[in-house]
Chains A and B, each alone.
Chain A
Amino acid sequence: MELELRGITKRFPGVIANEDVNLTVRSGEILGLLGENGAGKSTLMNIMYGLYSATEGEILVDGEIRAFEGPSDAIAAGIGMVHQHFMLVPVMTVAENVVLGVEPLKQKRTPWVFYGLVVATLGVLFTMLFNLFGVQEGIEGGIVALLGGFAGLVWYLHRDALDIAESRREVQEISAKYGLAVDPDALIEDLPVGLQQRVEIIKVLFREAEIIIFDEPTSVLTPQEVEEFFGIMRSLQDAGKGVVFITHKLNEINEVCDRITVLRRGKIVGETTPEESTEQGLAEMMVGRPVDLQVHKTEADPGDVVLEVQHLTVDDDRGHTVVRDVSFTVRSGEIVGVAGIQGNGQTELVEAITGLRPGISGTTVLNGEDISDGTPRHVHDAGVAHIPEDRQRMGLVLPFTVTENVILNTYHLEPFSNGTVVDWPASRAVARELIEQYDVRTPSSEVPASTLSGGNQQKVIVAREFSRAAPLVVASQPTRGIDVGSIEYIHERIVEQRDNGAAILIVSTELDEIMALSDRILVMYEGRIVAETTPGKTTTTDLGLYMAGATV
């Protein structure tokens, strides 16, 4: 099968998301689609999958022009998509999820039986009503008839029930064929992310896809899972499937793809192969200018202990203990990186330190002051800058202007207010200054933060937190999902804060980021710190093993 996009242009009001894009995917090849966040990769794939309709251009399947009204048309044409955020029902089993929407039934539907029963039931109901309102006799008979009708309905529905045995058999068949080992009876919520992804892939294969699109599939996986995933992609390729692999990670694309297409600002800016390209060259193509992939920093010169966490234990919202007896210190002038797969207690650890979540036991001490029971404001005023993990949910009030977001946690202090009345001119002046200083790309300080790109939103948060020169900086996922240029910039600023004597705690699931930034690395697994090392003494492979719970 061959899928071709010809001259695809997609315009949104005021924005061109894709412009004159030509792209071909054939069976048995892996096409890498590389681009920064916002380059238009996902828009393009959503057009391919029928979620969007193109403003201009055509989609051809085996040389024939096709119009996709929705994903169902695309699926019918043999196109499957594995979304970055899985579309699975957590309380259902693997097999149930796979067949969801196209369930094999024990028997073909026989509507006339159903309609007959409905009519009979209605008839009985009417009889009962008549009995109630006039005729006295036969009400018991009515009830009996109703029960009979109900029993018939149950029998009918049972006959038409999901054929779970058949579902399981088909799941196992696909698993075996493509090397996607997964227990068809396991509940989705019990599976690790890597296996959930396999379920998504099986889902797509179950729907007989010939071309499979993967949207940033590796962003949720551990290094080991990424390796396994590459194996799966290769086996799909061997089975004659066409694969589109969307990513912004340079090393991955070179490892697994046959061809590489680079997208920038909605246009294709280059087509190459792994043999012909280097990471540096791809990065420049993607960003449109020379970039520095290394973080430049001098040897750390740690000073006094700024943060001391001792025997900290924290529960999550459901009352499960997710941080278990964690102790560590962060000194001034050093960057401590906490590595770990998402969901191993890092989020709760940060929330406990910053006062957002009460600890069950243990203490956190900042420069000699116990802040274990501090409120977020108390912790903030004591000198903790916090770049939260989820900038849109926690770091920003999106409908608020840049100015309002800049003063979000200092509005009660001079010079932004006298405690009662906000001094807007002064606030705006500071906001404009920070926009300038931190290179935030925004038309003005008075536009809603929601209109900024992810990278610029993050810069607003970084500007707000770093402008206070706090002795401790806690940064969670400081560069998640933002463009290479902004990552480079934010990394520089973090190192600059360190050099100015701040103690810095970085929590990241990106191993490259941990390795590049940290002076010291802690690895968290199931709520405990399972390893402490330095970038010089370890490799990403070893870190990946620690993160997966292995002892090395």
Chain B
Amino acid sequence: MSDNGSGGDSEKPKRESNQKKLNMNDITGVGTSWTRALLVPALALLTALIVGAFIIAVSDLDLLALWTSNPGQALADTWGKISGAYSAMFRGAFGDLQGWSETLTLAAPLILAGLSVAVGFKAGLFNIGAEGQMVIGGLTAVVIGFSLDVPGIIHVPLAVLGGFIGGFVWGAIPGLLRAKTGAHEVITTIMLNFVALNLLTYLLKSSAIQQPGRDDARSKLIQETARLPRLLSFMDDPRLRVHLGILIALAAAGVVYWMLFKTTLGFEIRAVGANPDASRYAGMNVLWLYVAAMGLAGGLAGLAGVNPTLGLQYRATPGFSAAIGFDAIALALLGRSHPLGVVFAGILFGALRSGGQEMQAATGISIDLVLVVGALIVIFIAAPALIRSIYRVKTDDVSVSITKGIA
């Protein structure tokens, strides 16, 4: 694509759009206008739901058999099954207060981890390590949660801050490695995920952290003062689990937005992400910015790790991160690396999860379908050319590159 062209001394032959080179920014959404940025994710979601419907239709053998004997009935039944599944999903996610509560509960860590990956993208870094940063952040928060004995008004902020710092440190390591040795962050963050996950299992069995009297890997319970307060506790319904985490997530999204678009640090991060050479020319310290961006990304993932530990389980267990750090990559892509986009994508993924539970209960379709739909969204987002060719969406890249020459 011409944006990466060298010199621009003339109009170079541009291939027609279907032969275009894969452009990372095209996938992560860095540097696109928001109207255009919305189009592909929306179409990707739609396409994923349609494919999901197809999977529902063909995965029922009785229904398939019906097509040969009674196609009309089969059509009606298929439609009924698909609409039943999707309406159950929607009901479960947004149908009542409990649905909303569950959606937001599940969305909170997704949003935070998604912001983590998005900040990385903005700086031109591929943070695959949100999972590990979550683990370290969550574990740090839990340790502060059970070891300190202070009032809740101090304890909660301290534990949350601990989560941020834990993630920050874990995230800054690959940043430092990148800056000092040039080791690629994709490799180091993936490897640090394994280190973090296994370190967690190991530490959970150490005497300082393990719950006394237990053999399995689980930490001590945190103090009640360190628990993230439930937002709907006044309604006295234990099923309404939504807690302070969602507010932390929304606040973090706001802060990330402000940081990226209003501060000099954000300006530098975006510049480095879009063109490291020009950033160096402009006097920015590119290597330090890699460390800073990775640290921030790690901190945000650490906050994501705070959610299940301080908000739901009140302890750390081996699987508390629940692969949210990996879903976060999908989420950041869906949200086009924009904080607001990530918030919506996080709520969407949260809704798919909480709605999926209802769908499974009501229609017997496995909740795994939700994972399939999530994965399909990512595929369609990661292959924007595919979506564009399905829906014949014209890219404006060609006109951009041509107008560039025309003056």
Option from A215, A396, A404 in Cβ contact (under 8 Å) with B267:
A404
Shortest Cβ gap from A484 to chain B (Å): 11
Assess the B404–A408 pair: CB atoms within 8 A.
Answer: no
Smallest Cβ-Cβ distance to A419: which chain B residue? B264
Assess the B405–A397 pair: CB atoms within 8 A.
Answer: no
Smallest Cβ-Cβ distance to A43: which chain B residue? B11
Interface assignment of A15: CB less than 8 Å from any CB of chain B? yes
User: A5-35: which residues lie under 8 A (CB-CB) from chain B?
Assistant: 12-15, 17
Binds B, one of A121-129, A250-258, A449-457: A449-457
Binds A, one of B198-206, B270-278, B295-303, B343-351: B270-278
Shortest Cβ gap from B174 to chain A (Å): 24
CA distance A381 to B283 in the complex (A): 9
Q: Which residues of A contact B239 (CB under 8 A)?
A: none
Interface assignment of B62: CB less than 8 Å from any CB of chain A? no
Interface assignment of A400: CB less than 8 Å from any CB of chain B? yes
Interface assignment of B407: CB less than 8 Å from any CB of chain A? yes
Assess the A448–B31 pair: CB atoms within 8 A.
Answer: yes
* Total contacts A-B at CB 8 Å: 165
Interface assignment of B396: CB less than 8 Å from any CB of chain A? yes
CA distance A390 to B4 in the complex (A): 11
Q: A12-B399, A43-B11, A404-B267 are in contact. Are A390 and B404 (CB under 8 A)?
A: no
Assess the B263–A399 pair: CB atoms within 8 A.
Answer: no
Assess the A453–B281 pair: CB atoms within 8 A.
Answer: no
Q: Which residues of B contact A40 (CB under 8 A)?
A: 11, 406
Option from A15, A265, A408 in Cβ contact (under 8 Å) with B282:
A408
Q: Which residues of B contact A266 (CB under 8 A)?
A: 406
Shortest Cβ gap from A8 to chain B (Å): 16
Option from B31, B264, B407 in Cβ contact (under 8 Å) with A38:
B407
Q: A15-B406, A42-B10, A448-B31 are in contact. Are A409 and B283 (CB under 8 A)?
A: yes
Assess the A422–B274 pair: CB atoms within 8 A.
Answer: no
Assess the B403–A397 pair: CB atoms within 8 A.
Answer: no
Assess the B10–A215 pair: CB atoms within 8 A.
Answer: yes
Interface assignment of A432: CB less than 8 Å from any CB of chain B? no
Assess the B8–A392 pair: CB atoms within 8 A.
Answer: yes
User: A199-225: which residues lie under 8 A (CB-CB) from chain B?
Assistant: 215-216, 219
Q: Mark A377-402, 1 if CB is under 8 A from B, else 0.
A: 11011000010101111111111100
Q: Which residues of A contact B396 (CB under 8 A)?
A: 13-14
Shortest Cβ gap from B89 to chain A (Å): 37
- Count of chain A residues near B, Cβ 8 A: 69
Q: Which residues of B contact A15 (CB under 8 A)?
A: 399, 402-403, 406
Interface assignment of A438: CB less than 8 Å from any CB of chain B? no
Interface assignment of A107: CB less than 8 Å from any CB of chain B? no
Shortest Cβ gap from A347 to chain B (Å): 12
Assess the B9–A393 pair: CB atoms within 8 A.
Answer: no
Assess the B281–A388 pair: CB atoms within 8 A.
Answer: yes
Assess the B13–A51 pair: CB atoms within 8 A.
Answer: yes
Q: Which of B10, B262, B264, B279 has the most CB of A within 10 A?
A: B10
Interface assignment of B16: CB less than 8 Å from any CB of chain A? yes
Assess the B277–A394 pair: CB atoms within 8 A.
Answer: yes
User: A427-482: which residues lie under 8 A (CB-CB) from chain B?
Assistant: 441, 448, 450-457, 480-481
Assess the B264–A375 pair: CB atoms within 8 A.
Answer: no
Assess the B30–A453 pair: CB atoms within 8 A.
Answer: no
Shortest Cβ gap from A53 to chain B (Å): 8
Q: A421-B263, A450-B3 are in contact. Are A483 and B407 (CB under 8 A)?
A: yes
Assess the A422–B263 pair: CB atoms within 8 A.
Answer: yes
Interface assignment of A191: CB less than 8 Å from any CB of chain B? no
Interface assignment of B394: CB less than 8 Å from any CB of chain A? yes
Assess the A422–B267 pair: CB atoms within 8 A.
Answer: yes
Q: Which residues of B contact A420 (CB under 8 A)?
A: 263-265
Q: Which residues of B contact A398 (CB under 8 A)?
A: 3, 274-275
Q: Which of B8, B30, B285 has the most CB of A within 10 A?
A: B8
Interface assignment of A320: CB less than 8 Å from any CB of chain B? no
Smallest Cβ-Cβ distance to A377: which chain B residue? B283
Assess the B271–A397 pair: CB atoms within 8 A.
Answer: yes
Q: A408-B271, A454-B405 are in contact. Are A12 and B31 (CB under 8 A)?
A: no
CA distance A143 to B55 in the complex (A): 46
> Which of A's residues lie within 8 Å of B, judged by CB?
12-15, 17, 37-38, 40-43, 46, 51-53, 83-85, 215-216, 219, 265-266, 354, 356, 375-378, 380-381, 386, 388, 390-400, 404, 407-409, 411-412, 417, 419-422, 424, 441, 448, 450-457, 480-481, 483
| A-B complex: 8 closest residue pairs judged by Cβ atoms | A481-B9, A377-B283, A399-B31, A38-B405, A453-B407, A409-B282, A13-B399, A14-B399
Q: Known contacts A37-B9, A404-B267; can you find 5 more A-B pairs with CB under 8 A? A: A390-B7, A398-B3, A400-B271, A409-B283, A451-B404
